[in-house]
Amino acid sequence: MRGQSMFSRLLIVFLAVILVSVGVVSVLSYLNLRANAIDNRMNALKTQARDMAYLASRKSYDAFSLLSGQDSATEDYMKWKSSRIYQEYNAYIMVVDRSGKSYIYYNEATLQDDSMTAVPTQDEISAYMDQALRGEEVVRLTQSASGPLFTVLVPWVQENALTGQRTVMGFILIQTAAQVVQASYQGMLWQTAIAAVSMFILAALAVFWFTRQMTRPLTAMAHAAGNLARGRFDDRAPEVGAREIRQLSQAFNQMAVQLSSLEQSRRDFVANVSHELRSPITSIQGFAQGMLDGTIPQEQHSQYLQVVVDETHRLAKLIGSLLNLSRMENEEISLAYSTFNINEMARRVLISRMTQIDEKGFEIDVQFEAETCMVRADADQIEQVIINLLDNAIKYTPEGGTITLISRQEADHVSFRIKDNGIGIRPEDAPHIFDRFYKADKAHTVGKGTGLGLAICYRIMERHGQSIRLVSGEGGAEFEITLEKAEQ
């Protein structure tokens, strides 16, 4: 079956199962119907034999006929009935009395019927008599020179009017060729065969439709997967079919959306990295070329060399941020958990930025719920998060603004917020602020940032199993991080 489609394989398997099932059921049904037909036929013969046995017992009471030597009415009825039995069952009837004398009832056509079986021998009659005297009714299949025979034997009895005693007076023997009984159910073979073929055709059509409906979404999904492999991320699998197929299609489509987003992020990442790297490199190249060809006077070399150094620092910072983010995404940097005071860490970061704070005349508002707020995390990475958030607040808050630091102890975690009253973040930019290289206000930030700070913060908090979110972007920006609460 190598190289065949899933539809072909399923169809072949289903049809094979149906064929075997229909065949087995048909054979069993035929055998059961045949057995029932034979039983019904033989029961009918046994009923006829019992009727003849009753007539034989009544024949002995017809005294007038016995004295006159004429056939009695019972005798005439027995002849008529035997003729009907012969016509219906192609069987002859033998009436045997207790002394072994036999009377054979059949119509004249029987004498010329080649299918008529031989009359039982005297030994066979003696054996039948022994069974009849024991009161047994016999139904059996025997073999003869002319072929298999069905034999029915029923004793006939008489009852003493004075004593009520019942005496076996002989037996009734009805015998017919097996072909006659078999002919009653031979038509069933064709009926069963026609029914089996009809069932198979209907089941095959149903299986064909069901298999087609089941495999069509998978075929479409395979086609969509091929398009994904070729870089076409807009193709989707139809969400139809059985529940499991729909769930698989939904998962595939979600994967396609994520791959499309990932591909777009990759392209944006490459474009942003190229742009961010090109800007300092172009500046360095331009100033260096200007100093070499004399465009920049000798007395201004030191000024522009400082610009080159600043651009070099910016380039190094960008590369360092990229490497840091890449290591965190690949989990190359393991977390070194420790217990520390988040309030004390925030104060140290503030002190390290006091020069910038004083230059811009910021007011610092510290709202710590308690003097000590212990958390459990990687201290170095959490410090980097606070530094990035504080640097953003300093960068985007105008002179004389206010920066607020807030810490709160919740039931199972610690909430730490950094808030400013700067330019804020527009609602349309809020969903993208944690994306790599995303800059909400590009005109304001040209040359002042890499667009990686919040992406690094997001990845750090994600690795801690905690969250970072934008609480408010209007009238300034407010960011909140959550940390695992440590016992104090």
What mean pLDDT is reported for the chain?
78
pLDDT digits (tens, 9 = 90+) for 351-361: 988 888 988 99
- Count, residues in the chain: 488
Convert the pLDDT of each residue in 288-306 to its tens digit: 888 888 888 888 888 888 8
Residue 349, pLDDT above cutoff 80: yes
CB atoms within 10 A of CB 453: 20
Please report which confidence band the pLDDT of residue 94 belongs to, taking 50, 70 and 90 as the band edges.
confident
CB of 384 within 8 A of CB of 410? Answer: no
Q: Report the C-alpha gap between 307 and 305 in whole angstroms.
A: 5
Give the span between the Cα atoms of 266 and 286, in whole angstroms. Answer: 29
Tell me the sheet residues that pair with 92: 175
Strand ranges of the sheet holding 147-159, from the earlier edge strand across to the other edge: 102-105, 91-97, 166-177, 147-159, 138-144
Phi-psi region of 41 (alpha: psi -120 to 50; beta: other; left: phi over 0): alpha
Contact present, 447 and 382 (Cβ < 8 Å): no
Dihedral over alpha carbons 332, 338, 341, 344 (to 10 degrees): -50
- Please check whether residue 138 is in contact with residue 129, taking contact to mean a CB–CB distance below 8 angstroms: no
Q: For the domain with range 236-333, which CATH number is right: 1.20.1250.20, 2.60.40.10, 3.90.76.10, 1.10.287.130?
A: 1.10.287.130
Q: 6-186 in CATH: which number? A: 3.30.450.20
Residue that wins the pLDDT comparison between 309 and 110: 309
Q: In this predicted model, what pLDDT tens digit does every residue of 234-263 receive, in sequence order?
A: 778 777 777 777 788 888 888 888 888 777
Most confident stretch, 19-28, 115-124, 226-235, 438-447:
19-28
- Classify domain 335-485 at the CATH superfamily level: Histidine kinase-like ATPase, C-terminal domain (3.30.565.10)
CA distances from 454 to 384, 385, 418, 433, 439 (A): 11, 8, 13, 7, 10
Smallest CA-to-CA distance from 448 within 314, 346, 347 is with 314
Separation of alpha carbons 471 and 480, rounded Å: 6
Counting beta carbons within 10 angstroms of the beta carbon of residue 165, is it exposed (0 to 12), middle (13 to 18) or buried (19 or more)? exposed
Give the other-Cβ count within 10 Å of 305's Cβ.
14
Please state the pTM of the whole predicted model. 0.47
Q: Please tell me the predicted confidence (pLDDT) of residue 66.
A: 44
Q: Which residues of 145-256 form beta strands (DSSP E)? A: 147-159, 166-177
Reduced to 3 states (helix: H, G, I; strand: E, B; else coil), residue 203 is helix
Model confidence at 109: pLDDT above 60: no
pLDDT for residue 86 is more than 50: yes
Outline where 60-103 has alpha helix (H): 63-68, 73-89
pLDDT confidence tier of residue 87, bands split at 50, 70 and 90: confident
- How many CA atoms lie less than 13 Å away from 470 in the CB half-sphere? 21
Query: Does 343 score more than 80 pLDDT?
Result: yes
Domain-by-domain residue ranges, the chain? 6-186, 236-333, 335-485
CB atoms within 10 A of CB 416: 26
pLDDT at 77 over 50: yes
Distance, in Å, from the CA atom of 93 to the CA atom of 81, rounded to the nearest integer, reads 10
Residue 482 identity: T
pLDDT band at 183 (very low <50, low <70, confident <90, very high): low
- Residue 408 — very low, low, confident or very high, per pLDDT cuts 50/70/90? very high
